[in-house]
Structure 1
């Protein structure tokens, strides 16, 4: 009896077999959870690789189809140009057909060149690339269609992600080197930079609405990828020629 309270002694039976069995069960549970996590991770990796292989095969099929169309178009051009049986009235139609076919051939050759760079990394510089930035006028002299093509040349077909910052550089009145971020001139963009995530390539397209007192001169594109092998790529494109400086 201490401080008016009664102390009680509780006796607990000691069972070494039960304690040993409990430890065995806990150890097996930890092994099962660890093994399950490992195989789940392996399954996720194989699933990603399988998806990449499917996308790669689809690109190869499209490339072969375009190569076939290119050969057929060239054959038609040769047949049309070598034909002497056309009369004077049909000459202009034939000439326009030849021009259209040649334009289509040039377009296909550009597309094939693009796919070959993506599908043959041993023939090109590897890593994140700015393939091109194109601007096309519309019926409105202040509105332009734009397209940014970003590619990744790699052997392992992994995703790459990050941000693309596009800015229009020009003059406003007597003030030079005015920079307008894409967010301020394109209703399709609501952030300062555009997020990208892809395996082979990604298109960023929309419209530009320029101020009436703004004279564009260059387009600056900055890519910043994230991850262990983060890269920063920067290029400037002349507004007229659309070629990288």
Structure 2
């Protein structure tokens, strides 16, 4: 009898075939898992270098910061200028109120008759110079024009000795011969003087030289005219 080849598989080969398929499946799954893990952990474009992904962001922020700083500087400068202007207006208003009060006392029905004279003096230090203000007035002749030149001097101590300083000693511009005035009832005049180092004033000496008239001298204690900051 002729032998026929068997159509059944060899039972000894089946376990190895199963193992092979199992290993292949594990490798496929492992490869797929590795691919998914890499995809999940791959950095987004530009994550390592934000500036490269968004090149305009840094420059835009820097420009915005520069604009904000410039705006702040402008605001500060404007506020400082406003405060300076308000201080000047306050000073002008105070001076105007003082003039009105003086005028009311000076020309009122019960006002005393006062000949031409310096009625008041104020001294205020500004940096290296002293600012003076003097009120010149008269009410004996309300229709007369009063014009002339105003000067002042100082009396004080320097190096332990009494010293007098004339107008020419106090003025920085040597050519000035006085502050002009021209009024009917009163006028406020002002200017700057410079004190020599080490000089301690005790009195202010004012001098009026009217046009075509006799000179008028007045004096004021320094403590009464000095205005501290």
Q: TM-score, normalised by structure 2?
A: 0.49
Of structures 1 and 2, the one scoring higher in RCO (CA 8 A, sep 6+) is 2
Greater CA radius of gyration, 1 or 2?
A: 2
